[in-house]
Structure 1
Amino acid sequence: MSSGWTRRSDDVGMVARWSSHHRFMNTSTSLKEVILKRIVFILGVLAGSFSCAALAAELTLPRSVELLALDGQKVAHTAVVKLPEGQHQFVFRYEESLRFGSHKKKYQSTPLIVSIPFSESTQMVLHHSRFRDYSAAASAFENGTVEWQVVDPQGELTDLHPVELPGNPGFLPYQNIEAAIGRYNRQHGISMSSDRMVMRTVQGQMTTKPQPPINSRQAVTHDASDTQYAGDFVPQIQAWYLQATDAERKALLKWMIEQQ
């Protein structure tokens, strides 16, 4: 009797151990599958990231050029811009301290706008004319004789023809740079998609919409939020003037004279 009971106990123990081992193996297999899937997913993400980085186009800007906006959006200043393939719109300005008599003075141009096509993995560097002093730079920008090019790794030059971006009406015309770009693009039939610039054309000619001339004496409307400046209007104007560029200061002074 006891020996039969012992055999049955041993059989039950073997079954229990086999069942436990089987569950452990199943659990281990499932865990391995989960880990392998995660590893494959992570490797896929990394491979995709490296692939995108390798295929991204790149534009390097000189220290004398400040990038203000890319494809209609204001951006922080950067020396290297990574871009997807396609046509891209840049707004930038020249800014450099140059010899002015016995000392140096910073020259800052009006914002310029230009479109540049990029293919996959293109690497280009922006170049511009060099100036011996402040007056040479001022003269070149006023007369539109500044030369701009992009250079590829093989040293091939492509000429660019940026134009001055018209400012917004009123003083400090470039404080809202995105609004100025939006107005320019509407006037020139340019629409911005999520990743590139699209120009609407008719029979190969870029379409433009006629715009009424801006009357500098036209009253500037303000919303209700502007009333917060009523108490400190003069200090606010002074602060804006000190932060403005040379071009913005000239525009402000011209506008103020026209209001007399």
Structure 2
Amino acid sequence: MSLKNVILKPVALCALLGLSTSVFADVTITLPSNVDLLAANSETPKINGNVFSNTKSITLPDGENQIVFRYKPVFRQGGDTEIVTTEAIITKFTASDVELTFDIPEYRSAELARDFDKNPTWKLVDKDGNAVDVKQDKLTNPGFQIGRNYDQESVAYNKKGGIAAITATGALAVTEAAIQSPAANSQYKTTEEQMLHYWYEKADKETKQRFLQSIIQAK
């Protein structure tokens, strides 16, 4: 059985390959060192860069997105170091084909930085300083805070329908946009076949191997 003979709907294919629609990445967010990104679209964020990188970023699809982050500044005075860890913020925004950065106030002390929880005045801005409209809320979890799963907490938050919630309809918008994309290639007989090849090429080596193995086992 060849790949061309395998017909799957785009959404089902996403699940099969273990990938998210975030591979259609047209929005880039640069992450400052004092921002800890905890989740993106109810998944573990795929950060561009490593622990040694001076600049880190995340790429997201055009359209509506949701991220969870925490403001985590470090203050040094003399030989002492103090890290302020604020509450997690869940936020949604809509953007397309743009590079964004966090604009967060610079606090002179740890004591002042703790006021961020009471008044989280931050922005996502483009290179010209224009701010993207965001809806934000606190992502709270009563009880012991170590080992939280922000992916699952985001899903639960969305089901409850908070101010920064994303609906299932919004989550499928990227896939629908991809189907209507002018990138369609005439060599494919169907949209499903085109999407199958697209997702397969986007997958990493291990995912491709698992996918091919599942086809062999299904013969």
TM-score for the superposition, normalised by structure 1 = 0.47
Amino acid in the other structure paired with 2:152 = A
Give the structure with the higher percent helix: 1
- Cα deviation, residue 65, structure 1: 0.5
Superposition map of 1:71-220 within 5 A: 71-78=41-48, 79-99=56-76, 103-119=80-96, 121-141=97-117, 143=118, 145-158=119-132, 160-167=134-141, 170-172=143-145, 175-188=148-161, 190-192=166-168, 193-194=171-172
Amino acid in the other structure paired with 2:122 = W
Relative to structure 1, is the Cα distance of residues 82 and 128 closer, same or farther in structure 2, using a 3 angstrom cutoff?
A: same
In structure 2, runs of 5+ residues without a counterpart are: 1-22, 49-55, 175-219
- Cα deviation, residue 148, structure 1: 1.0
Contact 2:73 2:85 in 1 (8 A): yes
Contact 1:107 1:138 in 2 (8 A): yes
Q: How many residues align?
A: 141
2:149 and 2:93 map into 1 onto residues whose CA distance is: 23
1:166 and 1:190 map into 2 onto residues whose CA distance is: 17
Task: Name which one, 1 or 2, has greater alpha-carbon Rg.
Answer: 1
TM-score for the superposition, normalised by structure 2 = 0.55
RMSD: 2.9
Structure with the larger RCO, 1 or 2 (CA within 8 Å, 6+ apart) = 2
Query: Where has structure 1 moved over 4 Å in runs of 4 or more?
Result: 99-102
SS in 1 for 2:153: helix
1:137 and 1:55 map into 2 onto residues whose CA distance is: 33
In structure 1, runs of 5+ residues without a counterpart are: 1-52, 197-260
- Cα deviation, residue 170, structure 1: 4.0
Taking only the aligned residue pairs, the percentage that are identical comes to: 24
Residue by residue, what CA displacement relative to the aligned partner does 1:92-149 show, whole Å, maximum 9, x if unpaired? Answer: 1111212468722011111110001111x211111111111110011232x2x23111
